[in-house]
A and B are shown apart, each in its own frame.
Chain A
Amino acid sequence: MSTPDATDEQLRFLMRCAQDGDAAAYSALLTAITPRIRRAIRSRRSFLGAEAVEDLLQEVLLSIHAARSTYDPQRPFAPWLGALIRYRLADAARQHAKQGAHEVTVDDLDVTFEGRAANTEDGSVGDVEALAHAIRALPPGQRQAIEMLKLKEMSLKEASAATGLSVGALKLATHRAMTSLRRALGATGSDED
């Protein structure tokens, strides 16, 4: 059973308290407007899946948090919220279009690449113990990046959200970690030879 939407008067009161630092009022406000935002996203982006809707909803909540100082309690709450939802959706559409412009759709991808380096005769997976040891020896930041992006196969966005690090910092840490691992494993291999 769904609860009835809070009135604009109630939302204004909660936002005024939130601006004064009342965490309980803020939590109540965000909880009250969440279904309203979800409905607005679904009605304007009906083609989105549940997960994408939730992502956008969270972006809107973060926008509300970032813009909360601009709300004037003397004015209605709904137009302020509506404008933020509208701008956030437009921004997401722009980002999506920008990403799409740099992506190429490939219908039929070869199983292997033609390059010699991608077609080695050696099918073994290498020394797993040495790899695990080399990963353990990495500095904490690089080890975390490798574990999240390579072992757990998280996306850069997910890893960024989980660690609080920027995507750029994660890319750099991964690059450095890969260089260190290559050096470490290469050295091990040559020692054994």
Chain B
Amino acid sequence: MKTDDLIAGLAGTLTPIQRFNPWTRASVWMAAAAVYLAIVTAMVVVGLSHSGASSDPLYVVQQLAALAAGITGAVAAFLSVVPGRSRRVIAWPLGAVLVWLLAVLWGCARDLQSSGTLGFASQTDWPCVISISAGGVLLWAVMLSMLRRGAPVTPATTAMLGGLAALGVANVEACLTRPHAFSGIVLLWHGGTLLVMTAIFTSTGGRLLRWPSSALRATRRKSHR
């Protein structure tokens, strides 16, 4: 096929399109995540769920950092499906994750000083593993469906950023509903779950978001008609 014919075919099948605004889409996703957290908080307030909330400054810093990972991860994921945008946005959620990790490690050091143990063996935390995984998958799936409208030219990176955002919010939900006696428990069970789920999201999402193969196939079919 000649290039001129292709151009004529593409122009011939042109229809008006709605512009993809990454900021609007990130806001919509964050609103959905806020509703999710509001429902969980309401369940804690009315007594349908346990409460893990604490006024400890370290706990507050951890939750704020996890929320920041959710917000910056969402913005970075949606910006990453717009070609030509700065790649520096990738560092935002990674910075928030680093702050969260430092806060948890600080808590570990404090526990060690006050109790003489990291408390790894004090409790298992499967409920948190399940709630972080389930909540993460739910929020990530919503984001993935919204990201497909863009141009995920680096699908694995986009999926990872989306995963960090979803898991950040799911981690807040898990910490709101379950008390943890030691920071070591959070580091081991929450940190481990976040690591494994991020790896799964990156590899699965990289395939689900693959671009431009599916978009090109659809476009080629249309331009040939």
Q: Which residues of A contact B (CB under 8 A)?
A: 18-24, 26-27, 30-31, 34, 54, 57-59, 61-63, 65-72, 75, 79-84, 87-88, 91, 161-164, 166
Interface residues of B in 7-26 (CB under 8 A from A): 7-8, 10-12, 14-21
Report how many residues on chain B are interfacial, defined by Cβ distance under 8 Å.
38
Contact residue among A23, A62, A81 (Cβ-Cβ distance under 8 Å from B216): A62
- Give every chain A residue within 8 A of B18 (Cβ-Cβ): 69
Is chain A's interface secondary structure helix, strand, loop, or mixed overall?
Answer: helix
Contact residue among A34, A54, A59, A83 (Cβ-Cβ distance under 8 Å from B83): A83
Tell whether, in the assembled complex, residue B83 and residue A70 are in contact, meaning their CB atoms are under 8 Å apart: yes
Tell whether, in the assembled complex, residue B7 and residue A67 are in contact, meaning their CB atoms are under 8 Å apart: no
Q: What are 27 pairs between A and B in contact, CB < 8 Å? A: A27-B11, A61-B3, A61-B10, A62-B216, A62-B220, A63-B151, A63-B215, A65-B223, A66-B216, A66-B218, A67-B83, A69-B17, A69-B20, A69-B150, A70-B20, A70-B83, A79-B84, A80-B82, A80-B83, A80-B84, A82-B84, A83-B83, A83-B153, A84-B153, A164-B220, A164-B221, A164-B224
Q: Which residues of B contact A (CB under 8 A)?
A: 1, 3, 6-8, 10-12, 14-21, 81-85, 149-151, 153-154, 211-212, 215-221, 223-225
How far is B12's CA from A22's CA once the two chains are assembled, in angstroms?
Answer: 10
Query: Residue on B with the closest CB to A66?
Result: B215
Contact residue among A34, A68, A84 (Cβ-Cβ distance under 8 Å from B3): A34
How far is B66's CA from A58's CA once the two chains are assembled, in angstroms?
Answer: 44
Is chain B's interface secondary structure helix, strand, loop, or mixed overall?
Answer: loop
Q: Which of B6, B10, B149 has the most CB of A within 10 A?
A: B10
Tell whether, in the assembled complex, residue B3 and residue A70 are in contact, meaning their CB atoms are under 8 Å apart: no
Query: How many residue pairs, one in A and one in B, have C-beta atoms under 8 Å apart?
Result: 111
Contacts A19-B19, A164-B221, A164-B224 given; indicate if A69 touches B149 (C-beta within 8 A).
yes
How far is B21's CA from A80's CA once the two chains are assembled, in angstroms?
Answer: 14
Distance (whole angstroms) from the CB of A63 to the closest CB of chain B: 5
How far is B81's CA from A70's CA once the two chains are assembled, in angstroms?
Answer: 8
Contacts A23-B12, A83-B84 given; indicate if A70 touches B151 (C-beta within 8 A).
yes
Q: Which of B11, B18, B218, B219 has the most CB of A within 10 A?
A: B11
Tell whether, in the assembled complex, residue A27 and residue B216 are in contact, meaning their CB atoms are under 8 Å apart: no
Tell whether, in the assembled complex, residue B15 and residue A65 are in contact, meaning their CB atoms are under 8 Å apart: no
How far is B151's CA from A68's CA once the two chains are assembled, in angstroms?
Answer: 9
How far is B20's CA from A88's CA once the two chains are assembled, in angstroms?
Answer: 20
